[in-house]
Amino acid sequence: MKKHLLFLVLAQFANAQAPSGYYSSANGLTGAPLKTALSSIITSGHQDKGYSGLWTAYKTTDIDKNYENDGSILDIYSERPTSSDPYNYTPGGNQCGTYSTEGNCYNREHIVPQSLFNEASPMKNDVHFIRATDGKVNGMRSNYPFGKVGSTTFTSQNGSKLGSSSSSGFSGTVFEPIDEFKGDVARMVFYFVTRYQNQLSGFSSGNMLGGSAFPGLQTWELNVLLAWHNQDPVSQAEINRNNASYTFQGNRNPFIDNPNYVNQIWGSQTPTQDTQAPTVATNLSVSGKTSNSVSLAWSAATDNVAVTSYDVYMNGSLKTNVNTTSTTVTGLNPSTIYNFYIKAKDAAGNASANSSTVSATTNAGTTNPNPTNCVNETFETIPTSSASSYTTKTWTNSGITWTATDSRSDQTISNKAITVRNGSLKSSTFSNGINSLTVTTQLKFSGSNGNFNVLVNGVNVGTIPYSTTATTTTINNINVSGNVVVSLVNNSSSNRVAIDNLSWTCSSGFARQSVMNTENTQPNELQVYPNPISNQEIFVKGETENIQKAEIYNLQGKVMQTENLPFKNGKSIRTRNLQQGIYILKLDELSLKFIVK
């Protein structure tokens, strides 16, 4: 277990590790001047060893010498300080790679997501805030900020959590490491916003970074990290890593060497209360519709500190809260009028006035007078090798190839069934669409009641409940025609749920045009072509020369890619392995819809 020491004693001990006079130019300073002095100190001497150089660095920087002391990779997302680790990684091996479950491989985890700085160097390669962590947990953390989790949607095997925020000032999704490493995370973020303070104005916020050198963080995130820094003092493991990183890269993390710098710069108390509300968000528009969903997009509001999220209201009632400038509202009725407006919010909870209101009528539901089950999966042909082991299993039946991750095949409901733990059941592409889906589920072994998320082309169309009683559930009015990929996703790391007798109805004679064929032409004539795109490249017709920024969102509002000056070298944008589905391309303040097949 980490030995917590008094800050004063620890600071004296840690200072001995830095060269004599390393921090002398910061002596006597506080607040923003101290932060600026430290930025200059740790920028000088910094050697960029490249992205692949991180694998070399980890052989000295991220070795466990303080817990098991077994020479394995010290992974803050899997390390159990007081008991045996669930799995171990060998330095130089087990590098990601592909993964489906925890323990497959370790990755390079940017504590400050690289999407916020457009994967630019030297930030992308800076070992001081890039840790060797499990690939699966790294993927689940994604680009979410750090905060206190309220309602949990994912828990790693060492107790790190993902879920909705209970931190004051932010209600979106956050990631929370275990207590042992909360201070470690805080000091890595403090390093980042100090080392790169002069570039923050050009980075995306990610609901964590500020847009100026000081304080460098959004108020709510600063409060979280100050608390974590103070509750979890510097450990010997951090000191070891700082020294090894200095040897490798030529600069140090000052907040490990001198923990008191944190409170000398930002203060130990909660920053001054923000009372100024954001401006009203503008240009709210309907960007797409189906029979049971409406997609919305709008232009960002501004704030004296930072806008952190948007409340989306439907027919006068709060429907959802998102931290991007687009969202899709689902679960609606066909051929029904809905009214929407939004409010911008900042970290202190101040809300803007209502935006303008837009109305949308959902598409008519498709009625098939003679519905047939065009897909019937009984799971009688599932693999039987390693039946009781949780692995990725693949099989083909009636023209569809199925892939089940973190799954076993030794359980039954009616006859054979596939059991999914922390993974998914996914079909290959099926060309005749989907109308309604029916499936039987049952919770096996121990656990609690829950739900599968059902995704069609990456868009959530409903949930399937499960319990210890075998239950058959139907989701109606999905109504997506053309090519579809259907997934059932189990986000629980402990519930083991059997799936049997999966079927869906479809018809090539759908009267409703699929959302995948909606027209993208905009009033200013900017247009994605061809649409669907091919070869992971988006071509855009129209005057693109003056566009400053491009962002790609999925239909859940998650930022998938950001490009500054996207058309400086031509009329297209290269995408980064976007999966099949529908996306929004935001070009400055204009949103265009495109499809990846």
Domain membership of residue 424 (yes or no) is: yes
* pTM check: above 0.85: no
Same domain? For 104 and 184 the reply is: yes
Could you list the residue range(s) of the whole structural domain that residue 524 is in? 516-596
Domain membership of residue 21 (yes or no) is: no
Question: What confidence score (pLDDT) does residue 370 get?
Answer: 42
Domain membership of residue 274 (yes or no) is: no
Domain boundary pick from 454, 470, 505: 505
- CATH code at position 305: 2.60.40.10
Same domain? For 386 and 527 the reply is: no
In terms of Cβ atoms closer than 10 Å to its own Cβ (0-12, 13-18, 19+), residue 242 is buried
Sorted by sequence, the CB contacts under 8 Å of residue 200 that are 6+ apart come out as 193, 209, 210, 211, 212, 213, 216
Domain membership of residue 273 (yes or no) is: no
Domain boundary pick from 505, 537, 553: 505
State the virtual CA torsion across 195, 198, 199, 205 in degrees, nearest 10: 80
Give mean pLDDT in consecutive 10-residue pieces for the chain, a chain of 597 residues. 38 56 94 95 95 94 93 94 91 84 93 93 96 94 93 93 91 93 97 96 92 92 93 93 95 95 79 75 89 88 78 88 83 84 82 91 62 78 88 87 93 91 92 86 90 88 88 83 88 90 69 33 64 86 86 72 87 84 81 81
Three-class secondary structure of residue 554 per DSSP:
strand
- CATH code at position 533: 2.60.40.3080
Same domain? For 287 and 159 the reply is: no
Same domain? For 127 and 247 the reply is: yes
Measured distance CA(585)–CA(590) in Å, rounded: 8
Angle, vertex CA 218, rays to CA 301 and CA 147, nearest 5: 115
Same domain? For 188 and 306 the reply is: no
Tell me the backbone φ, ψ of residue 228, rounded to 5 degrees.
Answer: -65, -40
Same domain? For 486 and 530 the reply is: no
Same domain? For 354 and 474 the reply is: no
Measured distance CA(282)–CA(297) in Å, rounded: 10
Domain boundary pick from 262, 293, 309: 262
Measured distance CA(213)–CA(223) in Å, rounded: 17
Say how many residues make up the chain: 597
| Sign of the Cα pseudo-torsion (46, 50, 54, 59, in order) | negative
Domain membership of residue 173 (yes or no) is: yes
Domain count for the chain, please give it. Answer: 4
Domain membership of residue 204 (yes or no) is: yes
Question: What confidence score (pLDDT) does residue 207 get?
Answer: 92
Sorted by sequence, the CB contacts under 8 Å of residue 49 that are 6+ apart come out as 56, 57, 125, 127, 248, 249
Measured distance CA(477)–CA(15) in Å, rounded: 65
**307-314 and 337-346 beta bridge pairing:** antiparallel
Same domain? For 496 and 354 the reply is: no
Same domain? For 425 and 446 the reply is: yes
Same domain? For 457 and 538 the reply is: no
Same domain? For 86 and 148 the reply is: yes
Single-letter code of the amino acid located at 450: G
Q: CA Rg, the chain, in Å?
A: 25
Single-letter code of the amino acid located at 4: H
Domain membership of residue 382 (yes or no) is: yes
Domain membership of residue 531 (yes or no) is: yes
Beta bridge partners of 68: none
Same domain? For 256 and 322 the reply is: no
Three-class secondary structure of residue 220 per DSSP:
helix
